[in-house]
Amino acid sequence: MAEEHIDAEIVEDPRGAGQPVDEAALVLGDDDPADAALHERILGEEPAWHGNILDVRTVKVELPNGRLTTRDVVRHPGASAVVALTDTGKIALVRQYRTAVDRVTVEIPAGKLDPGEDPQVCAERELHEETGFRAGRIRHLTSILTSCGFCDEIIHIYMATDLRFDGATPDEDEFVNVDLVPLSELIDAVLDGKIEDAKTVVGALACDAIAHRLGLETE
């Protein structure tokens, strides 16, 4: 069987020759028996590049039609992020320069998981290091795959309330400014497309939904 590199290939849906399927309820990935026909068989992977935070691996796969190809996959240890909501309905946001886009971005606090670390412990640590707040209560909102087309990173997003400030302790190579912004203003910025950071968009919208459900005060 000849090996070749292709970017992507459309696989026909065995239920309807590629036509949309009208489901009565949401069916999650791999829960539909027909999804088995979409799977690629992973034959092995080799290191392509090793970095301080992430690795790139070349993964050899067999496609559903039997053809062979390779995928470039970024392996990442995962991260946690925190939507910190004050008693007055404001969100703690960090402003920091991001080399990849060569500008300062506005984000919710976040950081990489240490090996074997509980995501909630990571969230609490990053919240305190970056903003100086400690959470009296913290709850898991959701977890997101940041870009599953090529990366396995999962960010676990938490909501922190009952906040107490006792001073930030950023890492020596971490330079951030902190803003307290009304949740309603953050939501407007998200819906206007002014906030582009994915974890911040998801976290803000999830926090807004929870805040309304619980009847929390927001500005």
Do 96 and 124 lie in one domain? The reply is yes
Q: Which of 51, 75, 99 is the last residue of a domain?
A: 75
Do 148 and 119 lie in one domain? The reply is yes
Do 97 and 70 lie in one domain? The reply is no
The pLDDT of residue 216: 66
Side chain identity at residue 20, one-letter code: P
Do 62 and 95 lie in one domain? The reply is no
Do 54 and 91 lie in one domain? The reply is no
Do 88 and 171 lie in one domain? The reply is yes
23 belongs to a structural domain: yes
CATH number of the domain where residue 111 is located: 3.90.79.10
Do 129 and 202 lie in one domain? The reply is yes
Judged against a pLDDT cut of 50, whether residue 4 lies above it is answered with no
Q: What percent of the chain has pLDDT over 90?
A: 78
Number of domains in the chain: 2
Do 8 and 22 touch, CB atoms closer than 8 A?
no
Q: Which residues are catalytic?
A: 172
Do 88 and 120 lie in one domain? The reply is yes
Mean pLDDT of the chain: 90
**193 lies in which domain range?**
79-214
Closest CA to 80 of 112, 114, 107, 102: 112
178 belongs to a structural domain: yes
- Non-local (6+) Cβ contacts of 105 within 8 A are 95, 96, 97, 98, 196, 197
Q: Which of 75, 95, 118 is the last residue of a domain?
A: 75
Name beta bridge partners: 137. Answer: 161
User: Model pTM?
Assistant: 0.86
Quick one: how far is CA 183 from the chain centroid?
20
Cβ neighbourhood burial of 103 (10 Å; 0-12, 13-18, 19+) = exposed
In the chain the first and final C-alpha atoms are separated, in Å, by 63
Quick one: how far is CA 165 from the chain centroid?
26
Do 113 and 209 lie in one domain? The reply is yes
Q: Which of 75, 90, 108 is the last residue of a domain?
A: 75
Do 208 and 154 lie in one domain? The reply is yes
User: Residue range 85-94: average pLDDT?
Assistant: 95
- Non-local (6+) Cβ contacts of 53 within 8 A are 76, 77, 112
Q: Which residue has the higher pLDDT, 212 or 209?
A: 209
125-160 pLDDT, tens digit each: 999 999 999 999 999 999 999 999 999 999 999 999
219 belongs to a structural domain: no
Give the model's confidence band at 1: pLDDT under 50 very low, under 70 low, under 90 confident, else very high: very low
Q: Which helix (H) or strand (E) holds 165?
A: strand 154-165
